[in-house]
Amino acid sequence: MATSRLSSVRLFCDTRSPLTEKFQYILSLFPQDLVFAFSYGSGAFQQHGHKSTEENVVDLILVVEDAEAFHELNLERNWKHYSSLKYLGPHTLASFQEKWGARVYFNTLVPYKHGLLKYGVVSSSAIIADLLDWEWMYISGRLHKPVMPLVLPDANHPIRSALKHNLQNAMHTALLLLPDNFQEENLYQTLAGLSYSGDFRMSFGEDRNKVKNIVRPQIERFRNLYASFWPGLAAYAEFNSTTGRCEQDTSPAARIYHLNLLPKKIQQTIVHEWNRNGRWQDVEDVFRAAAHDTECPELVKEAVQKTVKASSWTQSLKGIPTAGFIKSIRYGFSKINKMWKSLQKTHGES
Protein backbone atom coordinates (compact mmCIF):
# COMPACT_ATOMS: atom_id res chain seq x y z
CA MET A 1 0.00 0.00 0.00
CA ALA A 2 1.42 3.37 -0.99
CA THR A 3 2.28 5.84 1.73
CA SER A 4 3.54 9.39 1.66
CA ARG A 5 6.63 10.70 3.39
CA LEU A 6 5.66 14.14 4.45
CA SER A 7 6.93 17.65 4.47
CA SER A 8 3.69 19.44 5.34
CA VAL A 9 0.26 17.81 5.55
CA ARG A 10 -2.37 18.52 8.20
CA LEU A 11 -3.94 15.51 9.88
CA PHE A 12 -4.87 16.25 13.47
CA CYS A 13 -1.23 16.73 14.39
CA ASP A 14 1.53 19.31 14.16
CA THR A 15 2.70 19.72 10.58
CA ARG A 16 3.96 23.26 10.40
CA SER A 17 7.53 22.60 9.30
CA PRO A 18 9.26 20.15 6.94
CA LEU A 19 10.95 17.09 8.35
CA THR A 20 14.45 17.87 9.51
CA GLU A 21 17.47 15.99 8.24
CA LYS A 22 17.48 14.08 11.53
CA PHE A 23 13.98 12.68 11.06
CA GLN A 24 14.54 11.99 7.37
CA TYR A 25 17.57 9.96 8.39
CA ILE A 26 15.60 8.13 11.10
CA LEU A 27 12.93 7.11 8.57
CA SER A 28 15.62 5.79 6.22
CA LEU A 29 16.66 3.25 8.87
CA PHE A 30 13.43 1.26 8.57
CA PRO A 31 11.62 -0.80 5.93
CA GLN A 32 9.70 1.49 3.62
CA ASP A 33 6.22 -0.08 3.83
CA LEU A 34 5.02 1.89 6.87
CA VAL A 35 1.31 2.73 6.98
CA PHE A 36 1.65 5.55 9.50
CA ALA A 37 4.52 6.83 11.62
CA PHE A 38 4.95 9.65 14.08
CA SER A 39 7.31 10.99 16.71
CA TYR A 40 6.09 12.22 20.07
CA GLY A 41 7.36 13.47 23.40
CA SER A 42 10.38 15.57 24.32
CA GLY A 43 12.43 14.26 21.40
CA ALA A 44 9.93 15.76 18.95
CA PHE A 45 8.79 18.97 20.68
CA GLN A 46 10.44 21.13 23.28
CA GLN A 47 8.83 20.73 26.71
CA HIS A 48 8.94 23.06 29.68
CA GLY A 49 12.19 22.55 31.58
CA HIS A 50 14.09 21.28 28.51
CA LYS A 51 16.47 23.65 26.74
CA SER A 52 16.05 21.79 23.43
CA THR A 53 15.01 18.47 21.92
CA GLU A 54 18.47 17.49 20.71
CA GLU A 55 19.70 15.56 23.74
CA ASN A 56 16.43 13.70 24.35
CA VAL A 57 15.58 10.18 23.27
CA VAL A 58 13.47 10.24 20.08
CA ASP A 59 10.22 8.30 20.58
CA LEU A 60 8.55 6.83 17.50
CA ILE A 61 5.49 4.76 16.68
CA LEU A 62 5.61 2.76 13.43
CA VAL A 63 2.30 1.39 12.15
CA VAL A 64 2.47 -1.61 9.80
CA GLU A 65 -0.07 -3.81 8.03
CA ASP A 66 1.79 -7.08 8.63
CA ALA A 67 3.80 -7.28 11.86
CA GLU A 68 5.63 -10.49 10.93
CA ALA A 69 6.67 -9.17 7.52
CA PHE A 70 7.92 -5.93 9.10
CA HIS A 71 10.00 -7.71 11.75
CA GLU A 72 11.49 -10.00 9.11
CA LEU A 73 12.65 -7.04 7.04
CA ASN A 74 13.68 -5.01 10.07
CA LEU A 75 15.79 -7.86 11.46
CA GLU A 76 17.70 -7.87 8.17
CA ARG A 77 18.31 -4.13 8.42
CA ASN A 78 18.54 -3.61 12.16
CA TRP A 79 19.52 -6.87 13.85
CA LYS A 80 21.20 -5.04 16.73
CA HIS A 81 18.05 -3.10 17.61
CA TYR A 82 16.44 -6.23 19.09
CA SER A 83 16.98 -8.06 22.36
CA SER A 84 17.71 -11.79 22.49
CA LEU A 85 14.10 -12.42 21.45
CA LYS A 86 15.31 -11.91 17.88
CA TYR A 87 16.74 -15.44 17.90
CA LEU A 88 13.17 -16.76 18.09
CA GLY A 89 12.45 -15.29 14.66
CA PRO A 90 9.95 -12.79 13.18
CA HIS A 91 6.92 -15.03 13.68
CA THR A 92 7.48 -15.18 17.45
CA LEU A 93 8.23 -11.45 17.62
CA ALA A 94 4.96 -10.69 15.83
CA SER A 95 2.99 -13.07 18.05
CA PHE A 96 4.48 -11.48 21.16
CA GLN A 97 3.54 -8.07 19.79
CA GLU A 98 -0.04 -8.98 18.88
CA LYS A 99 -1.03 -11.06 21.91
CA TRP A 100 0.39 -9.23 24.93
CA GLY A 101 0.18 -5.82 26.55
CA ALA A 102 -1.08 -2.94 24.42
CA ARG A 103 -0.15 -4.75 21.17
CA VAL A 104 3.03 -2.71 20.70
CA TYR A 105 6.57 -4.09 20.33
CA PHE A 106 9.22 -1.63 21.54
CA ASN A 107 12.91 -1.54 20.74
CA THR A 108 14.44 0.73 23.38
CA LEU A 109 17.59 2.89 23.67
CA VAL A 110 18.69 2.19 20.12
CA PRO A 111 21.81 4.22 19.22
CA TYR A 112 21.94 6.11 15.92
CA LYS A 113 24.12 8.92 14.64
CA HIS A 114 22.14 11.72 16.34
CA GLY A 115 21.57 10.02 19.70
CA LEU A 116 19.12 7.39 20.93
CA LEU A 117 15.81 6.04 19.61
CA LYS A 118 12.91 4.21 21.17
CA TYR A 119 10.42 2.88 18.63
CA GLY A 120 7.23 0.91 18.94
CA VAL A 121 5.78 -1.27 16.21
CA VAL A 122 1.99 -1.74 16.09
CA SER A 123 -0.30 -3.26 13.49
CA SER A 124 -2.92 -1.10 11.77
CA SER A 125 -5.73 -3.30 13.10
CA ALA A 126 -4.53 -2.86 16.70
CA ILE A 127 -4.11 0.91 16.48
CA ILE A 128 -7.57 1.29 14.93
CA ALA A 129 -9.11 -0.70 17.81
CA ASP A 130 -7.30 1.53 20.28
CA LEU A 131 -8.22 4.76 18.53
CA LEU A 132 -11.91 3.89 18.16
CA ASP A 133 -12.64 2.00 21.39
CA TRP A 134 -9.70 2.85 23.70
CA GLU A 135 -9.17 -0.88 24.01
CA TRP A 136 -5.82 -0.27 25.72
CA MET A 137 -5.74 3.56 25.70
CA TYR A 138 -2.06 3.38 24.88
CA ILE A 139 -1.29 4.64 21.38
CA SER A 140 -4.64 6.46 21.41
CA GLY A 141 -3.47 8.38 24.48
CA ARG A 142 -0.28 9.51 22.80
CA LEU A 143 -2.41 10.84 19.97
CA HIS A 144 -4.48 13.01 22.32
CA LYS A 145 -1.47 15.30 22.25
CA PRO A 146 0.33 16.99 19.33
CA VAL A 147 2.65 14.64 17.48
CA MET A 148 5.12 15.02 14.62
CA PRO A 149 3.86 13.01 11.62
CA LEU A 150 6.57 11.26 9.63
CA VAL A 151 4.44 9.06 7.37
CA LEU A 152 0.71 9.55 6.85
CA PRO A 153 -1.72 6.82 5.79
CA ASP A 154 -3.39 6.84 2.40
CA ALA A 155 -6.38 9.17 2.07
CA ASN A 156 -8.85 6.27 2.18
CA HIS A 157 -7.17 4.30 4.97
CA PRO A 158 -9.46 3.76 8.01
CA ILE A 159 -6.73 5.07 10.33
CA ARG A 160 -7.53 8.58 9.12
CA SER A 161 -11.13 8.55 10.37
CA ALA A 162 -10.05 6.67 13.49
CA LEU A 163 -7.60 9.48 14.34
CA LYS A 164 -10.42 12.01 14.25
CA HIS A 165 -12.70 9.72 16.27
CA ASN A 166 -10.02 9.37 18.93
CA LEU A 167 -9.85 13.14 19.44
CA GLN A 168 -13.64 13.31 19.64
CA ASN A 169 -13.52 10.59 22.29
CA ALA A 170 -11.03 12.66 24.24
CA MET A 171 -13.14 15.83 24.06
CA HIS A 172 -16.28 14.10 25.35
CA THR A 173 -14.30 12.47 28.14
CA ALA A 174 -12.55 15.69 29.17
CA LEU A 175 -15.79 17.68 29.24
CA LEU A 176 -17.33 15.11 31.59
CA LEU A 177 -14.37 15.58 33.92
CA LEU A 178 -14.40 19.40 33.90
CA PRO A 179 -16.72 21.91 35.67
CA ASP A 180 -19.13 24.27 33.91
CA ASN A 181 -16.48 27.02 33.63
CA PHE A 182 -12.76 26.49 33.02
CA GLN A 183 -9.76 27.96 31.26
CA GLU A 184 -8.39 26.70 27.95
CA GLU A 185 -5.20 25.42 29.60
CA ASN A 186 -7.27 23.35 32.05
CA LEU A 187 -8.91 21.63 29.08
CA TYR A 188 -5.60 20.79 27.44
CA GLN A 189 -4.12 19.55 30.71
CA THR A 190 -7.15 17.31 31.16
CA LEU A 191 -6.85 16.02 27.59
CA ALA A 192 -3.09 15.45 27.89
CA GLY A 193 -3.51 13.82 31.28
CA LEU A 194 -6.06 11.18 30.24
CA SER A 195 -3.42 8.66 29.18
CA TYR A 196 -1.42 9.20 32.40
CA SER A 197 -4.42 8.77 34.69
CA GLY A 198 -3.94 5.43 36.41
CA ASP A 199 -0.47 4.86 34.93
CA PHE A 200 1.63 3.45 37.78
CA ARG A 201 4.74 5.07 36.29
CA MET A 202 3.38 8.50 37.25
CA SER A 203 3.93 7.65 40.90
CA PHE A 204 7.24 5.87 40.30
CA GLY A 205 9.53 6.70 37.42
CA GLU A 206 7.98 9.71 35.71
CA ASP A 207 8.35 13.48 35.99
CA ARG A 208 5.59 14.62 38.38
CA ASN A 209 5.07 17.78 36.30
CA LYS A 210 4.91 15.87 33.03
CA VAL A 211 1.44 16.98 31.93
CA LYS A 212 2.04 20.68 32.64
CA ASN A 213 5.43 20.49 30.95
CA ILE A 214 3.79 19.04 27.83
CA VAL A 215 0.93 21.55 27.63
CA ARG A 216 2.43 24.92 28.53
CA PRO A 217 4.88 25.28 25.59
CA GLN A 218 2.32 23.82 23.18
CA ILE A 219 -0.92 25.73 23.83
CA GLU A 220 -1.16 26.76 20.17
CA ARG A 221 -0.61 23.20 18.96
CA PHE A 222 -3.33 21.88 21.29
CA ARG A 223 -5.67 24.66 20.14
CA ASN A 224 -5.11 23.72 16.50
CA LEU A 225 -5.54 20.03 17.27
CA TYR A 226 -8.98 20.44 18.85
CA ALA A 227 -10.34 23.61 17.21
CA SER A 228 -12.43 21.78 14.61
CA PHE A 229 -14.53 20.02 17.28
CA TRP A 230 -16.03 23.11 18.94
CA PRO A 231 -18.70 23.80 16.27
CA GLY A 232 -20.10 20.27 16.71
CA LEU A 233 -20.33 20.85 20.46
CA ALA A 234 -22.09 24.23 20.17
CA ALA A 235 -25.27 22.96 21.84
CA TYR A 236 -23.34 21.90 24.93
CA ALA A 237 -20.06 23.85 25.15
CA GLU A 238 -18.52 27.11 24.01
CA PHE A 239 -14.93 28.33 23.74
CA ASN A 240 -14.03 32.02 23.65
CA SER A 241 -10.72 32.17 21.81
CA THR A 242 -10.18 35.80 22.86
CA THR A 243 -10.38 35.20 26.61
CA GLY A 244 -9.42 31.52 26.60
CA ARG A 245 -12.54 30.86 28.67
CA CYS A 246 -14.64 27.73 28.19
CA GLU A 247 -18.23 27.27 29.35
CA GLN A 248 -20.29 24.10 29.16
CA ASP A 249 -23.68 22.71 30.05
CA THR A 250 -23.29 20.16 32.86
CA SER A 251 -26.97 19.26 33.11
CA PRO A 252 -28.02 15.58 33.07
CA ALA A 253 -29.06 15.94 29.40
CA ALA A 254 -25.58 17.17 28.45
CA ARG A 255 -23.92 14.44 30.49
CA ILE A 256 -26.02 11.75 28.80
CA TYR A 257 -24.98 13.17 25.42
CA HIS A 258 -21.29 12.86 26.31
CA LEU A 259 -21.65 9.47 28.03
CA ASN A 260 -23.29 8.00 24.93
CA LEU A 261 -20.33 9.12 22.82
CA LEU A 262 -17.56 7.76 25.03
CA PRO A 263 -15.37 4.97 23.59
CA LYS A 264 -16.69 1.45 24.06
CA LYS A 265 -14.09 0.33 26.61
CA ILE A 266 -14.82 3.28 28.92
CA GLN A 267 -18.58 2.75 28.60
CA GLN A 268 -18.22 -0.94 29.45
CA THR A 269 -16.08 -0.14 32.48
CA ILE A 270 -18.59 2.44 33.78
CA VAL A 271 -21.44 -0.07 33.45
CA HIS A 272 -19.40 -2.81 35.13
CA GLU A 273 -18.44 -0.58 38.06
CA TRP A 274 -22.02 0.70 38.45
CA ASN A 275 -23.32 -2.88 38.67
CA ARG A 276 -20.74 -4.10 41.17
CA ASN A 277 -23.38 -4.38 43.89
CA GLY A 278 -24.90 -7.36 42.11
CA ARG A 279 -27.95 -5.79 40.52
CA TRP A 280 -27.85 -5.50 36.76
CA GLN A 281 -28.78 -2.38 34.83
CA ASP A 282 -28.23 -1.98 31.11
CA VAL A 283 -26.21 0.81 29.52
CA GLU A 284 -29.16 3.13 29.01
CA ASP A 285 -30.30 2.86 32.65
CA VAL A 286 -26.76 3.25 33.99
CA PHE A 287 -26.05 6.36 31.93
CA ARG A 288 -29.39 7.93 32.87
CA ALA A 289 -28.67 7.37 36.56
CA ALA A 290 -25.02 8.42 36.28
CA ALA A 291 -25.94 11.65 34.50
CA HIS A 292 -28.03 12.68 37.53
CA ASP A 293 -25.33 11.64 40.00
CA THR A 294 -23.00 14.29 41.40
CA GLU A 295 -20.25 11.64 41.25
CA CYS A 296 -20.53 11.32 37.44
CA PRO A 297 -17.07 12.89 36.79
CA GLU A 298 -15.54 10.51 39.33
CA LEU A 299 -17.16 7.50 37.62
CA VAL A 300 -15.65 8.53 34.28
CA LYS A 301 -12.27 9.24 35.87
CA GLU A 302 -12.19 5.79 37.52
CA ALA A 303 -13.09 4.08 34.23
CA VAL A 304 -10.22 5.85 32.46
CA GLN A 305 -7.81 5.03 35.30
CA LYS A 306 -8.69 1.32 35.24
CA THR A 307 -8.12 1.11 31.49
CA VAL A 308 -4.78 2.91 31.62
CA LYS A 309 -3.60 1.04 34.71
CA ALA A 310 -4.15 -2.37 33.11
CA SER A 311 -2.31 -1.56 29.87
CA SER A 312 0.53 0.35 31.57
CA TRP A 313 1.33 -2.66 33.77
CA THR A 314 1.12 -5.29 31.04
CA GLN A 315 3.01 -3.20 28.49
CA SER A 316 5.75 -2.37 31.01
CA LEU A 317 6.18 -6.05 31.88
CA LYS A 318 6.27 -6.84 28.18
CA GLY A 319 9.04 -4.27 27.77
CA ILE A 320 11.49 -6.28 29.89
CA PRO A 321 12.04 -9.11 27.39
CA THR A 322 11.69 -6.85 24.33
CA ALA A 323 14.28 -4.38 25.61
CA GLY A 324 16.47 -6.89 27.39
CA PHE A 325 17.37 -6.80 31.07
CA ILE A 326 20.27 -4.31 30.88
CA LYS A 327 18.39 -1.80 28.71
CA SER A 328 15.32 -2.12 30.94
CA ILE A 329 17.43 -1.19 33.98
CA ARG A 330 19.04 1.75 32.15
CA TYR A 331 15.68 3.02 30.90
CA GLY A 332 14.11 2.64 34.34
CA PHE A 333 16.92 4.58 36.00
CA SER A 334 16.62 7.40 33.46
CA LYS A 335 12.90 7.70 34.27
CA ILE A 336 13.55 7.71 38.02
CA ASN A 337 16.21 10.38 37.53
CA LYS A 338 13.66 12.56 35.71
CA MET A 339 11.18 12.08 38.55
CA TRP A 340 13.82 12.96 41.17
CA LYS A 341 14.79 16.17 39.34
CA SER A 342 11.11 17.08 39.09
CA LEU A 343 10.59 16.56 42.83
CA GLN A 344 13.67 18.65 43.65
CA LYS A 345 12.47 21.46 41.40
CA THR A 346 8.97 21.37 42.90
CA HIS A 347 10.42 21.43 46.43
CA GLY A 348 12.70 24.33 45.53
CA GLU A 349 9.76 26.37 44.22
CA SER A 350 7.57 25.72 47.29
Query: In terms of DSSP bridges, do strands 36-40 and 181-183 run parallel, antiparallel, or are they unpaired?
Result: unpaired
pLDDT band at 272 (very low <50, low <70, confident <90, very high): very high
pLDDT band at 232 (very low <50, low <70, confident <90, very high): very high
What's the pLDDT tens digit per position in 116-160? 999 999 999 999 999 999 999 999 999 999 999 999 999 999 999
Other C-beta atoms closer than 10 Å to the C-beta of 75 total 16
Q: Is the pLDDT of residue 51 over 80?
A: no
Q: Which residues contact 133 (CB under 8 A, 6 or more apart)?
A: 263, 264, 265
Average pLDDT over residues 291-307: 97
What's the pLDDT tens digit per position in 321-335? 887 655 555 555 454
- Torsion angle of C-alpha atoms 240, 134, 321, 124, degrees rounded to 10: -100
Other C-beta atoms closer than 10 Å to the C-beta of 38 total 23
Average pLDDT over residues 90-119: 95
What's the pLDDT tens digit per position in 166-184? 999 999 999 999 999 999 9
Average pLDDT over residues 180-195: 97
Average pLDDT over residues 38-56: 77
Does residue 36 contact residue 63 with C-beta atoms inside 8 Å? yes
Q: What are the domain boundaries of the chain?
A: 21-348
In whole angstroms, give the CA distance from residue 5 to residue 86.
28
pLDDT band at 209 (very low <50, low <70, confident <90, very high): confident
Does residue 109 contact residue 323 with C-beta atoms inside 8 Å? yes
**% residues pLDDT > 90 (the chain):** 73
Q: What's the confidence (pLDDT) of residue 3? A: 46
Which range has highest mean pLDDT (192-206, 249-263, 303-317)? 249-263
**DSSP annotation of 19:** P
Average pLDDT over residues 316-320: 83
In whole angstroms, give the CA distance from residue 225 to residue 174.
14
Length of the chain: 350
In whole angstroms, give the CA distance from residue 64 to residue 37.
9
Q: Is the pLDDT of residue 204 over 80?
A: no
Other C-beta atoms closer than 10 Å to the C-beta of 18 total 11
Q: What's the confidence (pLDDT) of residue 336? A: 47
pLDDT averaged over every residue in the chain: 87
Helix (H) or strand (E) holding 125: helix 124-133
Q: Is the pLDDT of residue 24 over 80?
A: yes
Q: What's the confidence (pLDDT) of residue 331? A: 52
What is the dihedral sign for C-alpha 222, 226, 228, 233?
A: negative
Beta strands in the chain (DSSP E): 4-5, 36-40, 58-64, 104-112, 115-123, 148-152, 181-183, 237-240, 245-248
